[in-house]
Amino acid sequence: MGFHTIAGAAFRALTARKDGPSLYDVCDPVLLKYRGGDPHLGKFYRTALGNPALRPLLRRTGLPELRDEKRLGTLQEALIRARDDDEPDWAAVGAPIAELMADIGVHHPAPQKRAAAGRAADGSEIDRVIRRCGAHLLGSFAKNGFIPTYAAFNLIGDPDMGGREMLTALTGLNSRGYKNSTLLFSLARIFIAHSPARALINPPWTGIAEPMWQPMQIRHRSAYYDAFFTEALLSYVESGLASADEAAASRRAISEMVDFCLKTSAEEVSSHDGSTVRVITALAPLPHPRFSRFFAQIKQDLGFGIYVPDCDTTACSFSAATQAGSTDPILDQPLLDFYRGYQVREGANEPRVTVPLNDNIDYEGGVVTWIDNLAGDRPYGNDLDPTLNLDILEVSFRNLTRWKILETPSRLETVHRIIGFQRRLVESGAFRNPRSHIYYLPELYSAYFGRCHAAFMALPDAARKAIDPDGTFAFIRGKVLAYVEGELTAREMNPFDAALALMALAHLGADVSSFAAALNCITAHLGEGGRHGPYKAYEWNKMKTPTRILVGGPEVTSAFVLMGLTLARGVMMRGNA
């Protein structure tokens, strides 16, 4: 987005003809100053929506519908109820906002068909990019003492979050702070969607994964990210392209990140059978997340203060530690016994999914996301993401012998039911639909299925037959390859999309000729990150509630590019052997 485009959009927002009450006409009388009631709602409004940066951009955007004084009064009365009631009726509170969201007009990207790929990048180009990305990760670790990831708000919100989904979130989230933020962000989305400022907040981009160009990016550290960076550095060492010093630095970083996952981020929780289990929290207590002091306070003011363990961070941390050769006793815990208590059984514990934003899919057999801590907190309610369930399968395959999965009927049944959940998802075609995914996008599901498939194929033949007697992995492989080859790489990509495509193609045994488009995209965009790294920051994962919160970073892109290229390089070298 060029300077003239940015300046033009800002000028139009600042000088727009006001055509009805603005966000601030609605909220200032109710939320700017008050006594009693819930103090967080007002603090959130002043911090997130009424701040000096956003207010000038939206103050001249009005909604004609709210010139109807009765409708305006109903909306303000709903905000008063959210502010003052001890136990608000959140469905009633959200109803007038849901009505206004009908024409918000936010859509998923639809990349154009691309031209023929042409000659694929050669080995020397691939090696150069791998070395650049490996050096970027190691340099970042040396500079920061960890490899950072960033979060950013896109206030236009998620395309899958309409009025119905907003009400689902309001009634399914457990934390009042998250309900408050979902309510107010949803209201702000309506005004942003009708404002010239929309072009600043949500400009178009190439490919599927969204670039993180928002100016307010929150740096932080999590075990989930450290597990991922551990896998990336392992792949760098295994590629043989790291120098002796880089290989040694990689091993030191891997050791420190595994410790961060298994020790610093571990906490004890109750299992469904009354025992206790050590799992991995989404965000370790301060100071370990490494927020700046400014953002740590902002996070508290916005009400994002409680974090609990989750099934995905636990699975990925255990997997990365296993790959790194850790012997920590925490890995001896058979996680499938614990996950079984969070697995959806039709008619038995379906209420576990309290925030069913992706209710277009069949949850039976899937494991939900969030784990209750010892205090019983679960601020997000609970949801169910397909990619998370691939990670559970992957870590189970890596620990098949250690956890005695084939010898333990209940554990094998848990695996079979997750595989059944994945088969129904893919049979329906829903895996290609962004709506089906809570935290990820279809191209990342495809890459992570490739990762899971590789762990499955590394098992002995007899084990594979016991785990998958119906050939589900072969069936899903065919469908995912058809999506990656026929849709993802057939259209315009950005480097992040291309890295994910390579991971899927290489892991799933696609023909080397199918690598060309992704390889060319990655090599052509080298250097786009400027002083921040070889590549820009793109959307790795997201939260749909309370608004579209993106997570990624330049280091994340480097890590995915590194892994995608090393996998493709390995396949290409074996083909030339």
Tens digits of residue pLDDT in 234-279: 999 999 999 999 999 999 999 999 999 999 999 999 998 889 999 9
Amino acid code (one letter) for 153: F
How far is Cα 539 from Cα 509, in angstroms, rounded to an integer? 26
Q: How many percent of the chain have pLDDT more than 90?
A: 77
Q: Which domains does the chain have, with CATH numbers?
A: 3-109+161-198 (no CATH), 123-154+202-576 (1.50.10.20)
Amino acid code (one letter) for 336: L
> E strand or H helix at 270, and its extent?
strand 266-270
How far is Cα 265 from Cα 309, in angstroms, rounded to an integer? 9
pLDDT tens track for 288-324? 777 666 566 655 556 556 678 999 999 999 999 999 9
Question: 503: Cβ–Cβ under 8 A, 6 or more apart, which residues?
Answer: 447, 450, 451, 560, 563, 564, 567
- Say if residues 384 and 367 touch (Cβ distance below 8 Å): yes
Tokens of residue 280, six digits: 């991995």
pTM for this predicted structure? 0.94
First CA to last CA distance, the chain: 45
Tokens of residue 485, six digits: 């080859």
Tokens of residue 270, six digits: 């109750």
- Say if residues 550 and 152 touch (Cβ distance below 8 Å): yes
Over the range 376-407, which residues count as b (16 or more CB within 10 Å of their CB) and which as e? Answer: eebbbbbbbbbbbbbbbbbbbbbbbeebebbe
Confidence of residue 533 (pLDDT cuts 50, 70, 90): very high
* Coil/strand/helix, residue 375: coil
288 backbone dihedrals φ, ψ, rounded to 5°: -65, -30
Question: 197: Cβ–Cβ under 8 A, 6 or more apart, which residues?
Answer: 9, 10, 13, 57, 58, 61
Compute the CA torsion angle 22, 24, 25, 31 (nearest 10 deg).
Answer: 150
Scan for tokens 């207010």, then name that residue: 55
Name which of 281-285, 396-400, 442-446, 475-479 the model is least confident about: 281-285
Q: What is the mean pLDDT of the chain?
A: 92
How far is Cα 487 from Cα 101, in angstroms, rounded to an integer? 30
How far is Cα 449 from Cα 430, in angstroms, rounded to an integer? 14
CA angle 502, 570, 494 (to 5 degrees): 20
